[in-house]
Amino acid sequence: MVTLGKRKVFYNHYMSAWQWLSGRNKSRSYKSVYDVIKAHLRYIAGKRDDIVAVWNADLEKWKELTEKELAIRWDARIACKFFVTLPNDLSTQEALELVKKFIEKEIKTSFYTVAIHRNTGCIEGKENLHAHVIFYARDTNGKKISFSKSELYNLRRKWEEHLESKGFIIKTAPWRGRIRVNLYQNSKLNETAIQYIKSQRQVWAWMTKAIDEEKAFREKEERKRREEERKRTETPKKENERKTLLRDIIKRILNKHTEGGGRETEDKKQLKINQNKKLLNSTIPRPNQN
């Protein structure tokens, strides 16, 4: 699990296709649709070493619901099954409560069974936490449950929102869902399929690394460009500020000098006036007082 900030990245996100079980849709190896449901329940909730939690694995209840539906229609839809992968960081109780909350809030079925498995993946040998779900085809109001393609798509998005509410960021391999691969063939592991998935994951890892490196390089170049742009714009600005300051200093000095020079000139003028008055007074004859 990779941590991004305070949130964890969940890379192995996957929800399987939803398969409806009905009187019409059953394998020839089973006598009735109840036999299909019973076999599936034994597979997901039977004696297995990787089972860590089971909820509502009541065969008698499923038998009762099946007989009730088949009494109305021989080809009635009884149940739907699917499985989802879960983040390995979740505890068993957290995983069970998360799946139950999704079923009760989004699917709203009146009865369902959940089995939580925690085993080692057959592809990479890593821990693999996942949940198997089978739910009854009637909701809490007794109405038949059905989903259009758009509604199924929205349910998948809702499941992602439930995961995100636990603090996870969803990341899904781009090749998932493009090509269907059966991991088991004739009740045995399909080695060709496993090798294919491994190669696809390796290619995806290389692509992701190349994309991340390219993104980091572009971000570095963008920061460098912005820094150079900032320097180019700041240099003329500082030069203009320096020139303006210098002009202000020179202007103040000149104003001060001019004001001082003007006072000096007035003093000289007053001195000349006084000297002329004295000269005039000395040349004017005064009357004889005798």
pLDDT tens figures, 55-75: 999 999 999 999 999 999 988
- Evaluate whether 81 touches 19 at the Cβ level (below 8 Å): yes
**Class of residue 261 by CB neighbours under 10 A (exposed 0-12, middle 13-18, buried 19+):** exposed
Whether 151 shows a pLDDT value over 70: the answer reads yes
pTM above 0.85, yes or no: no
H or E element: which one contains 3?
strand 2-4
Q: Which of 8-17, 155-164, 236-245 has the lowest mean pLDDT?
A: 236-245
Nearest to 137 by CA among 73, 211, 218, 204: 73
Look at residue 92 in the predicted model and tell me its pLDDT.
93
Nearest to 163 by CA among 111, 85, 55: 85
Nearest to 80 by CA among 98, 46, 106: 106
pLDDT bracket for residue 287 (50, 70, 90):
low
Look at residue 178 in the predicted model and tell me its pLDDT.
52
Whether 186 shows a pLDDT value over 60: the answer reads yes
Mean per-residue pLDDT, 177-184: 60
Nearest to 53 by CA among 167, 165, 132, 108: 132
H or E element: which one contains 117?
strand 112-120
Of 277 and 117, the structure prediction assigns the larger pLDDT to 117
Within 10 angstroms of residue 213's Cβ, the number of other Cβ atoms is 10
Nearest to 83 by CA among 14, 151, 179, 25: 14
* Residue found under tokens 């089978």: 134
Of 173 and 24, the structure prediction assigns the larger pLDDT to 24
Look at residue 162 in the predicted model and tell me its pLDDT.
92
Whether 89 shows a pLDDT value over 80: the answer reads yes
Whether 263 shows a pLDDT value over 70: the answer reads no
**Class of residue 134 by CB neighbours under 10 A (exposed 0-12, middle 13-18, buried 19+):** buried
Provide, rounded to the nearest whole percent, the portion of the chain with pLDDT above 90.
41
Mean per-residue pLDDT, 178-186: 62
- Evaluate whether 113 touches 134 at the Cβ level (below 8 Å): yes
How many Å apart are CA 96 and CA 266, to the nearest integer?
A: 102
Of 226 and 234, the structure prediction assigns the larger pLDDT to 226
Whether 123 shows a pLDDT value over 90: the answer reads no
Dump the DSSP string for 143-186: PBP---HHHHHHHHHHHHHHHHHTTEEE---TTTTTS---SEET
List phi, psi (to 5°) of 284: -80, 125
Look at residue 290 in the predicted model and tell me its pLDDT.
46
Question: What are the distances in angstroms from CA 69 to CA 27, 77, 78?
Answer: 19, 8, 7
Look at residue 266 in the predicted model and tell me its pLDDT.
62
Mean pLDDT of the chain: 81
Tell me the pLDDT tens digit for each residue of 10-40.
877 888 889 999 888 766 778 889 999 999 9
Whether 173 shows a pLDDT value over 70: the answer reads no
